[in-house]
């Protein structure tokens, strides 16, 4: 029997790109709270060999990028890494992001990963943000008119944020995945971004 099998349900697995020099601090809020909301977090490396983060954490990927299929995933998370700006080694992750978006599966990119998406042409026609506008402009992309100077941006199935905004990034991811919504999502953000003690009770009400 040929042809693809239609989705019968939405996957509950979120895939996290992991690669040498990845920025440890950028996706921790998102992955921790997605896991608490019942999502399985699986790591995806260039291969299955261990990788090492900026902070020296050694991570053994659950699967190789070549094995990843959009139909098996609820979202692809791409953290920043020095490698986004120093080589083309991570370009296959940006190409995979294109495949995900074409399939209607959300992608969330932060810091250097936004530059990778810019080089792939994925930010040319979508509202987006990053560290600063001229960081993306240096990639030669054509999406400067769509740059938004804010903490994080959700544009359809694409979420972007800069390196200093891991909490805002997580807010957009958690909202997109339905982990928190409405007043509860706002309370989560006020607790972890603003250290608002009143938000704790609201979040756990």
Q: Which amino acids are annotated catalytic?
A: 111
Handedness of CA 121, 96, 106, 177 (dihedral sign): negative
- Answer for the pair 160, 168: CB distance below 8 angstroms, yes or no: no
In Å, how far are 87, 95, 205 from 20, measured between CA atoms?
12, 18, 40
CB atoms within 10 A of CB 201: 10
CA distance 100 to 139: 22
Rama region for 152: left / alpha / beta (φ>0; ψ in -120 to 50; rest): beta
């Amino acid at each position: 029997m040929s042809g693809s099998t239609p989705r019968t349900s939405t996957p509950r697995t979120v895939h996290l790109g992991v690669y040498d020099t990845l920025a440890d601090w950028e996706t921790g809020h998102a992955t921790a709270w997605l896991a608490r909301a019942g999502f399985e977090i699986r790591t995806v490396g260039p291969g299955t060999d261990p990788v090492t983060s900026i902070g020296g954490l050694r991570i053994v990927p659950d699967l190789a990028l070549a094995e990843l299929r959009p139909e098996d995933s609820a979202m692809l998370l791409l953290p920043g890494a020095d490698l986004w700006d120093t080589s083309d080694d991570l370009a296959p992750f940006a190409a995979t992001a294109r495949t995900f978006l074409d399939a209607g599966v959300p992608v969330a990119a932060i810091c250097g990963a936004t530059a990778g998406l810019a080089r792939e042409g994925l930010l040319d026609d979508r509202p987006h943000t990053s560290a600063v506008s001229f960081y993306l402009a240096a990639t030669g992309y054509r999406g400067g008119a769509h740059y938004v100077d804010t903490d994080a941006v959700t544009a359809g199935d694409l979420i972007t944020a800069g390196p200093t905004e891991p909490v805002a990034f997580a807010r957009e991811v958690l909202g997109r995945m339905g982990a928190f919504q409405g007043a509860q999502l706002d309370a989560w953000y006020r607790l972890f971004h603003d250290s608002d003690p009143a938000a704790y009770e609201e979040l756990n009400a």
